[in-house]
Structures are given as structure tokens and as C-alpha cells.
Structure 1
Amino acid sequence: MAADLIKRAGWRAPQHRRALAALTVGVVAVHLWLTHEVSSRMQELAPPELTIKRMEATYVTQVSLSAPPVAAAVLPQPTQTAPAAPTPVKKRKPKPVKAASAPEEKTVVAVAEGSASAVTQAASEPVAAEPPAWKESAPKGPIPDPAYAQEIPTTPAGPTFIWPKATKVSYKLEGYFRGPFYGTASVEWVRQENRYQVRLDANVALLGSMSMISEGLIRREGLSPERYESVNKVALRAPKINVVSFEDSEVVLGTGERVPREPNMQDPVSLLIHLAYQFITKPQLLKPGNTIELPLAYGKKAETLAFDVMEEDVQHTDIGDIPALRVKPRRTNQEKGDLVGETWFAPTLQYLPIRILTKAGEVTLDMKMEGAPQQTPGGEPGKP
């Protein structure tokens, strides 16, 4: 009998081993499947990689209240070359013909507001032409004249404006979406020679965050974007990224659609600094009742917005009561995700945006300046 039991146990052992092996394989397969699903989900929730490499900045001072800045003349001197042969030079009064060895005549560059700039050299040389409009093909590399400032002789005296190397405005963020929420935000400007970055970051604890960054060149007319990226991260949802590429004559939207690149076209974050620069160089624009039209490229569309200058409004801040003028965008329709809001520009604080109020669908975001802006000033006029 014992022999029979041993014989039966030996016969069943291979079956048990096969069953155990099958169970092990099943457990491993389920484990691998779960690992794959969790990994995939984590990759979806992970922040997308931005291709714009962030320009780092350090800050050495705080921006204090002062008279509104004015632009200053920082134009390059024309290159002087000796004439190939003696050439008569016309004078206001009849004089003997000027010798070939005589020095060339120089004139002062006068830039009148709203008029074209002209550079007059000796009569033996052609008159320098007005620089090509921004609408034409932009150079790929650094330009000889970054034009950090511009002359406006009729502007009242005030601090000379030079593009700062870095400026950061911090904000308290208050919002509403099915209930109030609170957070922090900032707008940061960084310049390296004639290249810039403008970045807007907003964070709300437990709800999500938003980042928008613009990169490009500084030109006489203002900012010339080359690329815009935005990332919106909402709790328990996959982050969304939008990219807009600015080419010489076209703009590639986030949808892949190509649209014509209009002169002075901006993106949703570069327009903050571009508008501020327009008010510095043409302060008469920032008067109640005026309207400024500006083409804008978003992730999904491009359109020309009208920015109406509203009444002056005193904003109560940590550094005092600051008079500011409200600039309100006007559009034909409001679509979900369009984050272009009303902005309060402060002339006595370098025309910086001290408040930004945005309403997009059911979401309201109100950013109010917190503390004094931080800054690293630029160099001497005409120098980086």
C-alpha cells in the first residue's frame, strides 16, 4: 500500500510543477502589464520637454518709482572711407573745390518721431537708406545695430531707457473656477546682447501650473519673436504644450497651419514687453481713448487685436499707490484657452505691467504685483 501511495505521488508531482510554472508565468505577465500601464501613465503626466533653453539671470537691484523713461539716440556712426578721387563738394556758400585729402564732412543724425531715419555722409558718398522694414527677411545671426534705444527729441526729459539685462515682476494670483483659488505668478525678461526671452509662470497649489515663454530678437520696432512655447498642467490630466514658430514670411501655428507673418506680429507673452516699449518710445499712445492694433499668433490661430487704452486707475501695491493705465484687448470672439487679458501699465515704474486680468471661459485669473520688481540694468547707451 505504501508503495502504491509513493507511486501515485511521483506520478502527480510533474502535474503540480507544471501548474506552479503556469501560475508563475501568469503572475509575471500581469506584473509586466501593470508596470507598462503605470509607466505609460506617468509619462503622460510628466511635463513635456520645452525646446527653448532658459536664459538664466541674477538680479542686483529693485525698480523704484521714478519719472517715466524716455528713449535715447544710440545709432551707429557710418563707416568712413576715403574717396577714390577728388570730388567737388557743395557748400551753402560758394567756396573752392575741396581737395581729395580733405576730411569727409559729417552731419548729425536726426530722428523725428514718426519720420524715417536718414544718415547723411559727404557729398561724394550716397545717402544711407532707411533700414529695411521688419516685415522683410530677418537676419539669422546677431545684427550690427541691436537698437537698444531710439531717439525721440520731442519727448520730455526723463531717465534714459536702455533695455535691461533682466527684469522680474512677481504677482499675487487670485482666480475663480467653480470656487476661488490662490497662487503666485511672475513675468521675467532676460536679454543677452540683442536676443531676448520673456517668460510668464503661474502656479496654483493642488490645481496646476502654466508656463509661457517667448524667444527672439530685439529690433528698432520692438520685439521680433522666433519661437513661442506654452505648457498647461492641470491636476490628474496630461499636460498640454503649444508651439508657434516665427519664420521670415510665415508663422507655423501649433496645429501645423501656416499663416502670413504680419509686421510686428507678437505672441501672447512677448506682447507685454512689446507694448511697454511702444509706450516708452511713443508715450502719446498711452492716452485714454487711443487704440493700438497688433497682430498676434496663438497656438491655434492668428488674428489682429485692437488694444483700447482705458482710463487711468490707481493700483494699491506693496510699494505704494501707483497710477496705471488699463489696456484692454478687443476681439471678435473669445475662445477657450485664449489668455490675453487686460493689462495695467505703470509709466512711473518703467511702464511695467503691474496687473494682468484674464477671463477665459469660466476661468478668471487676476495677477497683482507683489513687492518691488527686481532688475539688472543694461550697459551704457549703445553698448550691450
Structure 2
Amino acid sequence: MAASLKLPQATPPGMPDGHAARPQRRWIVILALTLLVALAHLLVTYEVSQQMADLSSSAGSSIKRMEATYVTEIKQTAPPVAAAAPPAPPAAPQAPAVKKREPKVAKAASAPDDAASAAKVADGASAAAPGASTPPDTVAKVAEPEPAASTPDADKPVAANEPAPTASGPTFIWPKATKVSYKMEVYYRGPIEGGRATVEWVRQNQRYQVRLDASVPLLGWISMISEGKVGANGLSPERYESVNQFLFKSSKPATLKFEEQEVVLASGERIARVPDLQDPVSHLIHLAYRFITHPNLLQQGNTIEMPLASSKRMDVIAYDVINEEVLHTGMGDVRTMHVKPRRLTQDKNALLGDIWFAPSLQYLPVRIYAKWADDIYVDMQMDGAPQQTPGDPPEY
């Protein structure tokens, strides 16, 4: 019986060989799984970041949020150099000029009593004549206005649409709302990307809120809120709250209560309230306000001292103006002044952040850098034009 011989079947045109098809299918499966994992990671990251943003805006806070809508973007402008003073009041009517009467000269030159009397008459005539000209040999002296003494009314709220009482800076009208958005670089056991933060100012009549909300995907979020009144000298906080979540573990809200004479810390301890006292969020806007109304403060080498209350203590902070720096931002190059805070006490455990203020952007903070240790820091940098709803101009 003849042996049967099986010939290999021909592979149909367009179909890969069986042995070659298996590795190709394997790579397709690996590629598909990789894409699915990457897509799932992106979806989870987005979902977590959205949840963090929602939580950081309301979690644990007893302060009702002031809502705001924004109508414009802030553009860079040259910082003002002079104050725009309101129109001067009408001048009071002057009394009619009195013609100077010539004194009678004594005929006898040897009569000193009569000559002295004549001189007194002449001086009296000049003083009694408001419209009379000053004799050429008399030096006119104009008294400089004395600075106003500090009074308990210094923090009295002023109408928010009235210019700030200053003679060294521009007329300033508090906006109804301002928001600066930041991209946030975090380093914690390695670099972490995708962080976002906002600093938002909202005003309703004479009341304000300042909020700093920051979140980092899969790491945590923090929300700090200050509310109070707009005073003649800037912000006057009434309440501050801070709440955060780190690695999915939430903290209890830390609260500061600013009473008229005292401040209640988060521990319940009471300390005396000092003038110009700010909290960890309000000081960002309060400093910007001081620079707007007194531009000379923001010069290299200057130091601005300000008391600052945190949840555990009150310190006096010295803000040293370091130098001018050009920062590259989402809206182009921005000239800024680098301000570095330092505590006048020796406590190095509490965190303070360097701030870069932009005179061309209403002195808003363009960058905030806070460092806990060499391998732990947060760097917030503005990534677009700030949004704003301007305030109403004053009516004279």
C-alpha cells in the first residue's frame, strides 16, 4: 500500500501565517490593555480632582460662600504713580480787602514813644487786612498739615465705592470680585503633577471673603477662608477657617474668631487683638491693598511689618522686599516684586510662603512658594489672566 503524502495547504492570500499571527495578536492585546489602563487612570484622576475641588469649596466650613460672576479679564497696565484726588470743595468767600492806612509819623525825631506807637499801628493795619500784600522783607511761613492721629475709628467700615483715604497712591475702588488661577507644582516624596489652586476675592457691599482653594490629585486638598469687613485701612477680618484632606484623611476645621478686643484661637485660647491684625489668607489681599495705596512701600530693601494670627499663635511678620523679577506666565512675561516673609520670633516650624506681587496686575500675587523641608514644597504660579468684576466708580 502506497504511503499517503499530505501536502501543506496554501495560506489564502491576505491572511498571515499562523505562527506569525500569534505574536501579532499578543501585541494587539497588550496595546489595548495599556490604553484601557491609561484611560481608566485618567478618568479616575479627573474624577478625584473634581471631587477634591467640590469638597475643598464647602467641606467642614461654617462660612457661607459668597457667589460671584466675572465679566472681564485683567490686562497688564503701567502701575499708577500719583493719587487721583477728588474735586476740591468750593472756596469760602473772602472778606473784602481793607486798604492799608499810612500811620502818622511823629514830627519830633527825638520822641521814641511816638515812633514805637506808629510802628504798632502799621503792624496792626497789616494784620487786619486779609487782602493786603505781604511786605517784601517778610518771609511767609505755611504750616505743614499734621498727620491724623490714630483713632478707634480707623477700622470703621467705609463705603466700598469710595476711594481709599490716601495721598501717596492712586484712587482705589474695591472690585466686586477677583479670581487668580494657578498651576501648582508639588514635591512630596517626588514630583506630583496636576495640582490646581485659586485665590478668590468677593465683596458684597462692605463685607468681603477671601478664599484659597488648592487640590492635588490623589494627594489631598486644602481650603482656607477669611471673611470680614472692608475698613478705611484695608481688611478687618472677623472669622477665618481652614480645613484639609491629606491622603484621604480629613482634618477638623481650624477656626479663628476676631472679636473687637480679642482673638479666639482654634484651641479656645484668647489673645489681645492688635491693630492691623490679619489671617493667613486675608494678608495676601491686605498687602496688595497697601502696595496699591502706598507704592513706595514696594521698593527693594524695604521691610513691611504686620501682625498675623494663625490657628495656634499670633506673630509679627516682617515682609522683606527682595528684588524685581520677570516671571513667565500663561499671559506672558510679568514684572513682579519678590516679597519674602520672616517671623520676628525664632519659631521655624510654622509655614510662611514667598510672594511675588505684580504692579502691572493691580499688585495681585502672581506666584506663591511655600517650603516645609528640602524635599517638601508647593509652588503656585499664575497660568492665565485674572478674572474680575470691577467695583462701581464713586459719585461726587
What whole-Å deviation, never above 9, does each CA across 1:3-40 have from its counterpart, x for those lacking one? xxxxxxxxxxxxxxxxxxxxxxxxxxxxxxxxxxxxxx
What displacement does 1:333 show? 3.6
Work out whether 1:132 is the aligned partner of 2:152.
yes
What displacement does 1:149 show? 2.4
For the residues of structure 2 that align with 1:379 and 1:372, how far apart are their CA atoms? 21
Out of 354, 375, 378, the position equivalent to 1:342 is 354
Report what 1:54 is aligned to.
65
Report what 1:380 is aligned to.
393
Report what 1:115 is aligned to.
147
Q: What is the TM-score of this pair, normalised by structure 1? A: 0.69
For the residues of structure 2 that align with 1:94 and 1:246, how far apart are their CA atoms? 60
For the Cα contact (< 8 Å) 1:286–1:309, is it kept in 2? yes
Report what 1:328 is aligned to.
340
- Which structure has the larger Rg? 2
For the residues of structure 1 that align with 2:163 and 2:256, how far apart are their CA atoms? 27
Output the amino acid matched with 2:247: A
Out of 241, 257, 264, the position equivalent to 2:276 is 264
- When residues 196 and 59 of structure 1 are mapped into structure 2, their CA distance, relative to the original with a 3 A threshold, is same
For the Cα contact (< 8 Å) 1:74–1:150, is it kept in 2? no
What whole-Å deviation, never above 9, does each CA across 1:256-296 have from its counterpart, x for those lacking one? 11111110000000000000000011100000000000000
Number of residue pairs aligned between Structure 1 and Structure 2 = 290
For the residues of structure 2 that align with 1:321 and 1:90, how far apart are their CA atoms? 56
For the Cα contact (< 8 Å) 2:172–2:293, is it kept in 1? no
Work out whether 1:166 is the aligned partner of 2:177.
yes
Q: State the secondary structure of the residue aligned to 1:161.
A: coil
Work out whether 1:150 is the aligned partner of 2:150.
no
What does residue range 232-271 of structure 1 map to in structure 2 within 5 Å? 232-271=244-283
For the Cα contact (< 8 Å) 1:74–1:148, is it kept in 2? no
What displacement does 1:151 show? 4.7
- When residues 188 and 170 of structure 1 are mapped into structure 2, their CA distance, relative to the original with a 3 A threshold, is same
Q: State the secondary structure of the residue aligned to 2:279.
A: coil
What whole-Å deviation, never above 9, does each CA across 1:153-198 have from its counterpart, x for those lacking one? 555xx7x531100000000100111111130001000001111100
For the Cα contact (< 8 Å) 1:74–1:382, is it kept in 2? no
- When residues 280 and 382 of structure 1 are mapped into structure 2, their CA distance, relative to the original with a 3 A threshold, is farther
- When residues 339 and 215 of structure 1 are mapped into structure 2, their CA distance, relative to the original with a 3 A threshold, is farther
Output the amino acid matched with 2:152: P
Out of 362, 371, 381, the position equivalent to 2:384 is 371
Report what 2:191 is aligned to.
180
What does residue range 277-296 of structure 1 map to in structure 2 within 5 Å? 277-296=289-308
What displacement does 1:133 show? 4.3
For the residues of structure 1 that align with 2:376 and 2:72, how far apart are their CA atoms? 35
- When residues 115 and 72 of structure 1 are mapped into structure 2, their CA distance, relative to the original with a 3 A threshold, is farther
What displacement does 1:146 show? 4.4
Q: State the secondary structure of the residue aligned to 1:299.
A: coil
- When residues 258 and 318 of structure 1 are mapped into structure 2, their CA distance, relative to the original with a 3 A threshold, is same
Output the amino acid matched with 2:272: P
Identity %: 53
- When residues 168 and 339 of structure 1 are mapped into structure 2, their CA distance, relative to the original with a 3 A threshold, is farther
Output the amino acid matched with 2:163: A
CA RMSD of aligned residues (A): 3.0
For the Cα contact (< 8 Å) 1:355–1:366, is it kept in 2? yes
Output the amino acid matched with 1:305: I
For the Cα contact (< 8 Å) 1:189–1:198, is it kept in 2? yes
Segments of structure 1 that go 5 or more residues without pairing to the other structure are: 1-44, 78-88, 96-111, 118-129
For the residues of structure 2 that align with 1:236 and 1:63, how far apart are their CA atoms? 36
Output the amino acid matched with 2:268: G
- When residues 307 and 58 of structure 1 are mapped into structure 2, their CA distance, relative to the original with a 3 A threshold, is same
Report what 1:121 is aligned to.
none
For the residues of structure 2 that align with 1:176 and 1:132, how far apart are their CA atoms? 46
For the Cα contact (< 8 Å) 1:73–1:151, is it kept in 2? no
What whole-Å deviation, never above 9, does each CA across 1:90-136 have from its counterpart, x for those lacking one? 959679xxxxxxxxxxxxxxxx999329xxxxxxxxxxxx863447x
Out of 57, 67, 73, the position equivalent to 2:78 is 67
- When residues 379 and 145 of structure 1 are mapped into structure 2, their CA distance, relative to the original with a 3 A threshold, is closer
Q: State the secondary structure of the residue aligned to 1:240.
A: coil
For the Cα contact (< 8 Å) 2:179–2:200, is it kept in 1? yes
Q: State the secondary structure of the residue aligned to 1:328.
A: strand
Work out whether 1:189 is the aligned partner of 2:209.
no
Q: What is the TM-score of this pair, normalised by structure 2? A: 0.67
What displacement does 1:363 show? 2.7
Segments of structure 2 that go 5 or more residues without pairing to the other structure are: 1-54, 100-143
Runs (4 or more) in structure 1 with deviation over 4 Å come to 45-48, 69-75, 89-95, 151-155
- When residues 74 and 233 of structure 1 are mapped into structure 2, their CA distance, relative to the original with a 3 A threshold, is farther
What displacement does 1:381 show? 2.1
What whole-Å deviation, never above 9, does each CA across 1:217-236 have from its counterpart, x for those lacking one? 01111000000000111123
